[in-house]
Amino acid sequence: MKIAILGSTGYTGVKLIELLLNHPFAEIVFISSEQYQDRKFSEIYPAFINIFDQICLSTDELIDNTEKYKPEVIFFATPNGIALKHAHIFIEKGIHVIDLSADYRFKDLKTHFKYYAIERHNPLDLSLNKLATYGLCESYSAEKKLELSSKKAQLIANPGCYTTASILSVLPLIALHQKNKDILDLSSFIIDAKSGVSGAGRKASTAHLFTEINESFKPYNLAHKHRHTPELEEFFSIYSSDNIKLTFSPHLIPITSGLLATSYLKFKQKPNQPESFLRDIYINFYKDSHFIRILPENEYPNTKWACGTNNAFIQIDYDPISESIIATCAIDNTIKGASGQAIQNMNILFGLTENLGLDLKPRMI
Amino acid sequence: MKIAILGSTGYTGVKLIELLLNHPFAEIVFISSEQYQDRKFSEIYPAFINIFDQICLSTDELIDNTEKYKPEVIFFATPNGIALKHAHIFIEKGIHVIDLSADYRFKDLKTHFKYYAIERHNPLDLSLNKLATYGLCESYSAEKKLELSSKKAQLIANPGCYTTASILSVLPLIALHQKNKDILDLSSFIIDAKSGVSGAGRKASTAHLFTEINESFKPYNLAHKHRHTPELEEFFSIYSSDNIKLTFSPHLIPITSGLLATSYLKFKQKPNQPESFLRDIYINFYKDSHFIRILPENEYPNTKWACGTNNAFIQIDYDPISESIIATCAIDNTIKGASGQAIQNMNILFGLTENLGLDLKPRMI
Amino acid sequence: MKIAILGSTGYTGVKLIELLLNHPFAEIVFISSEQYQDRKFSEIYPAFINIFDQICLSTDELIDNTEKYKPEVIFFATPNGIALKHAHIFIEKGIHVIDLSADYRFKDLKTHFKYYAIERHNPLDLSLNKLATYGLCESYSAEKKLELSSKKAQLIANPGCYTTASILSVLPLIALHQKNKDILDLSSFIIDAKSGVSGAGRKASTAHLFTEINESFKPYNLAHKHRHTPELEEFFSIYSSDNIKLTFSPHLIPITSGLLATSYLKFKQKPNQPESFLRDIYINFYKDSHFIRILPENEYPNTKWACGTNNAFIQIDYDPISESIIATCAIDNTIKGASGQAIQNMNILFGLTENLGLDLKPRMI
Amino acid sequence: MKIAILGSTGYTGVKLIELLLNHPFAEIVFISSEQYQDRKFSEIYPAFINIFDQICLSTDELIDNTEKYKPEVIFFATPNGIALKHAHIFIEKGIHVIDLSADYRFKDLKTHFKYYAIERHNPLDLSLNKLATYGLCESYSAEKKLELSSKKAQLIANPGCYTTASILSVLPLIALHQKNKDILDLSSFIIDAKSGVSGAGRKASTAHLFTEINESFKPYNLAHKHRHTPELEEFFSIYSSDNIKLTFSPHLIPITSGLLATSYLKFKQKPNQPESFLRDIYINFYKDSHFIRILPENEYPNTKWACGTNNAFIQIDYDPISESIIATCAIDNTIKGASGQAIQNMNILFGLTENLGLDLKPRMI
């Protein structure tokens, strides 16, 4: 598979390269970087000397000479607002596009505008938005996977890191709700999420200096001010055929990678044995999901266990006194929460087994 | 004020010493350490060379020779189970006791036994338990303060770190609930709390090695398994004259000091302008609380701002879409969450201004 | 003492404010910040709400209205190149200036130009440079202190953080060398220094993002490329009346504060008992230095012991097999290495005891 | 290749498993753990659920049933003192042994006793010690490699982490010294080394608690008190046919993995162009070393670049003013400094290309 990566020197770009170099069928034929154009990738990241010394070119170079590079799939690891300008050019040429930005994550473009303030008038972009698939792999049905792998050019809107962990923490419950609206009470649906700093990207900033972040912890953008809140609401609402609102609270952890979501719901109608009821639902729902680990009772996900892998560690709890359902999920925010899932999507698009190149070993030290 | 500190080389003991050395009226006349008996404090903590070189003695030495040392107040910075053996000896001699352990935090001793597995049969201990004051300073009324400062020997059960931040985050609401049960809906009362590692103490352990904690984040003891859950429930129930149950979720942050509580409640009866309604309640409730900082809108508490001080930073939010109340509170877990509050209690017991020796300056770097 | 601080929102500025708020005689009458002009200091640093809410003004405001604010001492916590423009204005008015930048640290202006690339033609600046005192407090003789405190307006060039720890680690040996050139061999004089990140300041930068620094360690500017190398050489050469060259190797530690220097020298003429010879020299040299702690044998300085204080922890070792002298010194880079020493200098200028406002307690957690 | 790992749950054991799971020809047939006997590896390290769920057995089980497990190579990832008891049993059976402890690193057993206090009287152990190969792979000649791969049972004494980085930093110079004693002056040979905390292992300890290590930096065991000092001296002396003494100064960095050595030497006879002379020597010496990266000028090794890989990043500098040679080398202390090098040795023993299973990609985030 010939691959192009736009925005190769940002954190999701670097992570794509790191992971694709381990993929048995992947060949990176083109990389771009607006900031470091015409420089070797390994000049920017000397850790890659002798490993990946390719030159960073420009997005325009790929647009102008697509035939020269012949990519079969293009990853947009670019800032918001780039894919919506260029994706249609490549889709028209029959090339798969996997967009790691937020450009194609919303069907409701009013919400997109409200949270991203990007005006969109290009009819090619607008019609492409309708066709885009929201790329949370574990939410795909068998039919959906078949459909994805049977078409020539697909646009995948790869989910955000907060949304991936949040969705995975409760997806079996939302699937249950889709079938039966009488079991769960979603009126106090809360996701309290905590992310490592790599989610903020590599842009120079005072707020993300080591000295500002280190040895501190903070919430931010509470009360529907964070962009991932409407992304979650739209996904859950479409997936469950309901109108779901939730309280989403992001927090910043002083670690480089790792993200944990702690999710809270209630039962409308409490089953006889809520603990085993919940556990069965989770185990059953995820039984074919290669990257999901449902933890044994009383064992809670550590972000470190997920780091360096595409795995998600999940625990499902029931508090018998407060009668809350508590679901926790840990991922590596730049792997399962970004570049790893993007490659998982690529594998699905090409009809490969999902875990090809992604059976990464955890790193305890 | 002559002061004795039992358990001086544990983290709350060290922090008491650090802070009391800055207190204008405090004189440390006695320190104990079972582990480092007969050694200089500054041998264990060389940072204190030339600053505090006192010798660590034993608890028995103080019991046997109380008259020699003449302490007016004794801090138990000891493991659980020590104060309930010895506190009554000192109280009988008319000496104030401030216990930083959990021994005297529960009026309901069945709950204490359930969570701490310590049998208590000594009638002196049992009657003392009834008299003990739960030491969350900001919850004292003016009358309570007057009462505390007017008696000779008092036993203060200094609250835990998680409970301090959790209570402070919602105390104005619980006070409101005490007066009017129709405004708040406490059926989905959730506190999602995150603590630095110093809360785990200084005992050798594999689980708290640098290499195990660093660059990871995890929940633990969810679903009513953490000891601070019943402590919170008892406090809130007594304070509001209601029977309050809650979901309390502790998490471990890879930082030394700092603790944040993110608390969620709902309105039973939504006021017309929920944001300003809430803000007014908080500002009014805390208007005389020297250590509380209600933050301006859209500014969220960073644990670092509180660290090194006895201050608590609080934000109160209303999410107009999910209709949740979200309260956040950051403290230094070993100062306001332990030793600082213990000194604040000491100041109250002696009728001093609460902030004496506690106007600590924040440390940005 | 009425104090003005120029550059109050950079890290050395914030640290000056934090420390001066604890100084019994200090009154901050003026602060400037070019970046945050006309904003409250506590808006920039909310940790200071209710503690220090003064408004940041401009340097020009102080120049134009010096009489209004009546400062007796002005701290330049500004970037390099600011003090050399303005210091003479205040000195002429009889106001003490303590410059925390590098502007007045070099007598040899060719070296200054080589390393800082700032042209200097103003005769007022040039003559001021001749009068400036290099402000390493522990290097002052009793006469020097008397002289400093007896004059009206003095310009102190406060040393850099690397230079402070480096000098303190070997100052007793350099003093010995001043008296007798036959004892020490300085031909392989090496200082391997390691600094926390706060030394890099608060400017937005990709290289100092949390994600770039965290969990890494690196040397930089080796082989006479770091600006503190010639500062050390000039100081040591003047102090010992010799021409001293050295190898200075800075490294970056992923911690906010703290700096350690490990220094290596040899004997030209080895004394009979080198260990006790060295120890005696150090203890004797520093016997009246309030902030210096010579550690007991086999105990090595931890940067954390020094952090939050103006203290320097020093160990002096002799390796009997390799015949090296090894001196280690740990300081807090923004206190003893910057703002704390600046206040120590202020105390000296005003004839106060050196430690006034600087007896800070170490923070173990 | 059938592999047994003794001491599989310590940090070097876990790292061996992590790496061997990526090795195309490796099959782990046996693991032991005294502490966690009869428990699943993935119970101790839940990150390995579904990845490596093998049961930890005892060393005795392997001794008693070697024929059952049929290992071709055994890794001792055990504490010091275990391999010297058991290695000969397996060697006699024709099985390769790679010992990651210090047991077989010294030819001079008096030095071993002095630093490790382990008495050795077993003649099988003593004769094995003579045959053991010191396993610094980049020091092997082509002949040595051929010899190693041609014999049935070999004992490799895998070097320590400090020694690996220290040796690699100066090996080209020591090789030069072997040929010509007139070029280098080793009378002031200093290695100032800095290590991450994983080197201290996983044993419960107060000194290595997160709260004790975090945000601090310290030297320890200076002046020939660290065990890696004589290991370095013996290696350098044998390798160069000289009697080499050095000053070795270890420091602890608050990071999990990563190690940097900063080494200092002098010229006896300075070449005309010392910079290019040195650079040529390094490039030439390491031209066939797959894992060595000589950095471009002015670029210095970051430990993070090496972390997660078996690579060593090296810079060689000459300070024209102080006339010092400064060599820096960064490695991952548990990969190139332990388990990765052990696998590299395994590859050599089996005549495979050295990098099989070891072409690990660096992880920038």
Of D11, D206, D210, the CB nearest to B254: D210
By the 8 A CB rule, do D329 and D301 touch? Answer: yes
Mutate to test the interface with C, among D188, D265, D318 (most CBs of C within 10 A): D188
Closest CA to B77 of B121, B24, B34, B126: B34
Q: What is the pLDDT of residues C72-98, one digit of tens each?
A: 999 999 999 999 999 999 999 999 999
Q: CA end-to-end span of chain A, whole Å?
A: 33
Task: Give per-residue pLDDT as tens, D270-328.
Answer: 999 999 999 999 999 999 999 999 999 999 999 999 999 999 999 999 999 999 999 99
Determine the pLDDT at residue D119: 94
- The three-point CA angle D9-D11-D16 to 5° equals 80
pLDDT above 70 coverage of chain D, percent: 100
Domains of chain D: 2-131 (3.40.50.720), 162-333 (3.30.360.10)
Q: What is the ipTM of this complex?
A: 0.96
Ordered alpha helix ranges (H), chain A = 11-20, 41-44, 59-64, 66-69, 83-92, 109-116, 123-131, 142-150, 161-179, 210-213, 228-240, 274-285, 303-306, 340-349
Strand pairing of A259-267 and A184-195? antiparallel
List average pLDDT for each run of 10 residues in chain B, which is 365 residues long: 97 98 97 96 97 97 97 97 97 97 96 95 96 97 94 93 98 97 96 97 96 98 94 97 97 98 97 97 97 97 98 98 97 98 98 96 95
Looking at residue A152, its pLDDT comes to 86
> So what's the pLDDT on residue A24?
96
Q: Which pair of structure tokens corresponds to residue A47?
A: 């850790």
- DSSP for A271-333 reads -SSHHHHHHHHHHHHTTT-TTEEEPPTT----HHHHTTSS-EEEEEEEETTTTEEEEEEEE-T
**β-pairing verdict for A247-252 and A184-195:** parallel
Any residues with CB less than 8 A from the CB of C170 and at least 6 apart, and which? Answer: C191, C263, C265, C327
Task: Give the closest residue to A155 by CA, choosing from A66, A92, A218.
Answer: A92
Provide the chain C residues 177-206 that lie in CB contact (below 8 A) with chain D.
187-190, 192, 194, 196
Residue C45 CB contacts under 8 Å (≥ 6 apart), including other chains: B362, B364, C9, C14
Phi, psi (degrees; rounded to nearest 5) at B15: -70, -35
**CA contacts within 13 A on the Cβ side of D197:** 28
Query: Strand B247-252 to strand D73-76: parallel, antiparallel, or no bridges (unpaired)?
Result: unpaired
Cβ(B72)–Cβ(B96) below 8 Å: yes
Task: Give residue B153's pLDDT.
Answer: 87
| Total Cβ atoms within 10 A of residue D296 | 11
On the question of pLDDT at A122 being above 90, the answer is: yes
Provide, as residue numbers in chain A, all residues whose Cβ is less than 8 Å from the Cβ of B230: none
Residues 6+ apart with CB under 8 A from D334: A365, D11, D12, D15, D161, D198, D199, D257, D340
Helices (H), strands (E): how many in chain B? 14, 13
What was the pLDDT predicted at A146? 94
**3-class DSSP assignment, residue A75:** strand
Closest alpha carbon to C119 in C84, C163, C171, C73 = C84
Per DSSP, the three-state class of A267 is: strand
Question: Which residues of chain A neighbour B363 with C-beta distances below 8 Å?
Answer: none
Contacts of B271 (CB under 8 A, 6+ apart): B183, B277
pLDDT at D142: 94
Confidence at A54, pLDDT banded by 50, 70, 90 = very high
Report which of C8, C6, C10, C18 is spatially closest to residue C48, judged by C-alpha positions.
Answer: C18
Q: Shortest CA distance to B101 belongs to which of B160, B163, B58?
A: B160
B283: tokens are 């500002």
**Residue corresponding to tokens 């979200």:** B326
Phi, psi for C164 (deg, rounded to 5): -60, -50
Closest to A233 (Cα-Cα) out of A191, A291, A284, A179? A191
Return the percentage of chain A with pLDDT > 90, whole number: 99
* % of chain C with per-residue pLDDT over 70: 100
Nearest to D337 by CA among D357, D311, D360: D311
Q: Which positions ≥6 away from A247 have C-beta within 8 Å?
A: A188, A189, A190, A191, A223, B264, B319, B322, B324, B326
Structure tokens at C237: 């050469």
Tell me whether D283 touches chain A (CB under 8 Å). no
8-state DSSP, C6: E
- Which pLDDT does position A165 carry in this prediction? 98
Cβ within 8 Å, pair C255-D255:
no
User: CA C69 → CA A38, C5, C85, D62, distances in Å?
Assistant: 54, 12, 20, 82
The neighbour count for residue B144, using CB atoms within 10 Å, is 13
Q: Name the 3-class secondary structure at C341.
A: helix
For D265, list phi and psi in degrees, rounded to 5.
Answer: -140, 180
The per-residue pLDDT for C152 is: 86
Q: How far is A247 from chain B (nearest CA, A)?
A: 6
Backbone angles phi, psi at D92, to 5 degrees: -60, -30
Inter-residue contact A33 to A79 (CB < 8 Å): no
- Alpha-carbon dihedral sign for residues C336, C340, C343, C348: negative
Summarize the confidence of residues A7-30 as an average pLDDT. Answer: 97
Give me the mean pLDDT over the A24-48 stretch: 97
According to DSSP, the β-strands at C324-331 and C259-267 are antiparallel
- Res B207: pLDDT: 96
DSSP assignments along A152-176, one per residue:
S--EEEPPPHHHHHHHHHHHHHHHH
Q: What is the mean pLDDT of chain A?
A: 97
pLDDT of residue B80: 96
pLDDT at position C183 over 90: yes
Q: Mutate which of B169, B189, B190 to test chain A, going by most A C-beta atoms within 10 A? A: B190
Backbone angles phi, psi at D106, to 5 degrees: -110, 130
Nearest CA in chain C to A197: C211
Chains touching chain D through at least 3 C-beta pairs below 8 angstroms are A, B, C
Q: Residues 247..276 of B with a Cβ closer than 8 Å to D: which? A: 254-256
- Cβ-Cβ contacts under 8 Å, D211 against chain B: 11, 197-198, 200, 202, 208, 256
Distance of CA D149 to the CA centre of its chain: 19
- Shortest Cα distance, chain C CAs vs residue B361, angstroms: 6
Residue type, A37: Q
Q: Residue D226: which of D258, D256, D194 has the closest Cα? A: D194
pLDDT for residue C250: 98
Q: What contacts C153, CB < 8 A, 6 or more positions away?
A: C90, C91, C92, C93, C94, C95, C96, C97
Distance CA D63, CA B218 (A): 40
Please check whether residue C283 touches B, CB under 8 A: no
Give dist(CA D365, CA C216) in Å, integer.
11
Express each pLDDT in C165-182 by its tens digit.
Answer: 999 999 999 999 999 999
CB C325 within 8 A of CB C317: yes
- pLDDT score of D198: 97
Tokens at A2, concatenated = 């010939």
Q: 3-state DSSP call for residue D343?
A: helix
Both tokens of residue B290? 């020297």
- Is D161 noted as a catalytic residue in this protein? yes
Confidence class of residue A85 from pLDDT cuts 50, 70 and 90? very high
- pLDDT reported for residue D152: 86
Predicted confidence (pLDDT) at residue C151 exceeds the cutoff of 90: no
Structure confidence by residue, pLDDT tens digits, C324-350: 999 999 999 999 999 999 999 999 999
Q: What is the DSSP string of B95-126?
A: -EEEE-SSTTS-S-HHHHHHHH------HHHH
Residue D223 and residue C326: Cβ atoms within 8 Å? Answer: yes
Q: Yes or no: say if B79 and B101 are a contact pair by the CB < 8 Å rule.
A: yes
Residues in chain D: 365
| Catalytic member of B56, B137, B161, B329 | B161
**pLDDT exceeds 90 at position A151:** no
